[in-house]
Structure 1
Amino acid sequence: MQQRLKRAGVATAALLLLLLVMTGANTWRQWAGLTVAPDTPAERRAQLEPFWRVRPPALGAPETGGAVVLSGCDGVHDNMDFWAGRLAGRGYRTLILDSHGPRGLDRFEAWRLVCAGQALPGAERAGDLAVALADPALPPGGRVVLGASHGGWATMEFLRLAVTGEVSPALRDWPAPPAQLLRDLEAVILLYPYCGLLNGADAGDWTGAPPILMVLAAEDRIVSTPDCESMAARLRERGARVAVEVLPDADHGFDQQDRATFSALRFDAGLRDRAAAAIDAFLSAAK
Structure 2
Amino acid sequence: MNFAGLAALLAAFLAGIATSAIAAEQPPTLVEIENPLASTHPLQGYLRRSNSTGPLPAVVLLHGCNGNWGHIDERWGRRIASWGYVTLSVDSFGPRGLNNCGEGVRDDLTRDAYRALDFLVRDPFVDPARVAVIGFAHGGRVALMSVERGLLEQTSPSKFHAAVAFYPPCLGFNGIMTAPTLILAGERDDWNLARECRNLVDGRDDWGISRQKGEGFPMKLIVYPGAYHGFDAPALETPRQMSGHHLEFNQAATDQAAAALREFLDATIGPQERPQ
- Taking structure 2 as the reference length, what is the TM-score of the superposition? 0.69
Alignment-derived partner of residue 256 in structure 1: 233
**CA displacement 1:156-213 (0-9 Å, x = unmatched):** 22223xx33x249xxxxx9xx53x423xx332111111113xx3x316x53xx11111
Question: Could you tell me which residue of structure 2 aligns to residue 191 of structure 1?
Answer: 166
Contact 2:55 2:127 in 1 (8 A): no
Aligned to 1:37: none
2:66 to 62, 74, 78: 74
Is residue 61–residue 90 contact of structure 1 (8 Å, CA) maintained in 2? no
The residue identity in structure 2 corresponding to 1:181 is S
How far off its partner does 1:43 sit?
5.9
8 Å CA contact 2:239–2:248 kept in 1: the answer is: no
Q: Deviations over 1:219-254 (max 9, x none)?
A: 102111111111122268432310111111111101
CA distance in 2, matches of 1:236, 1:216: 25
User: Structure 2 matches for 1:80-99, cutoff 5 A?
Assistant: 80-99=73-92
Give, in whole Å, the separation in 1 of the partners of 2:212 and 2:183: 13
Rounded to whole Å, the distance in 2 between the matches of 1:167 and 1:212 is 17
* Alignment-derived partner of residue 174 in structure 2: 202
What residue identity is the alignment partner of 1:68? V
Unaligned runs of 5+ in 1: 1-39, 169-173
Matches within 5 A, 1:156-195: 156-160=144-148, 163-164=149-150, 166-167=151-152, 178=156, 180-182=157-159, 185-195=160-170
CA-to-aligned-CA distance 1:101-155 (integer Å, 9 cap, x gap): 111113xxxx1xx2xx51643x532211111111135723410111111001111
For residues 267 and 93 of structure 1, what CA distance do their matches in structure 2 show? 26
> By how many angstroms is 1:54 displaced?
0.9
**Contact 1:62–1:91 (8 Å) recurs in 2:** no
Counterpart of 1:53 in 2: which secondary structure? strand
- Structure that is richer in helix per residue: 1
Distance 1:45 1:82, change over 3 A: farther
SS of match in other structure, 1:48:
coil
1:132 to 72, 95, 116: 116
The match for 1:47 among 14, 25, 41 is: 41
Q: What is the number of residues matched between the two proteins?
A: 218
C-alpha RMSD of the superposition: 3.0
Distance 2:132 2:199 in 1: 24
Matches of residues 104-123 of structure 1 in structure 2 within 5 Å? 104-106=97-99, 111=100, 114=101, 118=103, 120-121=105-106, 123=107
* Aligned with residue 153 of structure 1, among 130, 133, 141: 141
Q: Which amino acid aligns with 2:268?
A: A
Measured after TM superposition, the shift of residue 270 of structure 1 is 2.2
Corresponding position of 2:267? 285
More strand, by proportion: 2
1:42, distance to aligned residue in structure 2 (A): 7.8
Cα 1:225–1:60 change in 2 (3 A) is: same
Structure 2: 5+ residue stretches without partners: 1-33, 204-210, 270-276
Among all aligned residue pairs of Structure 1 and Structure 2, give the percentage whose two residues are the same amino acid: 25
Counterparts of residues 218-233 of structure 1 (less than 5 Å): 218-233=187-202
Post-superposition offset of 1:90: 2.3
Query: Secondary structure of the equivalent of 2:127?
Result: coil
In structure 1, C-alpha distance between the alignment counterparts of 2:57 and 2:90, rounded to whole Å = 16
Question: What is the DSSP-based 3-state SS (H/G/I as helix, E as strand, rest coil) of the residue aligned with 2:165?
Answer: strand
8 Å CA contact retained: 2:45, 2:91: yes
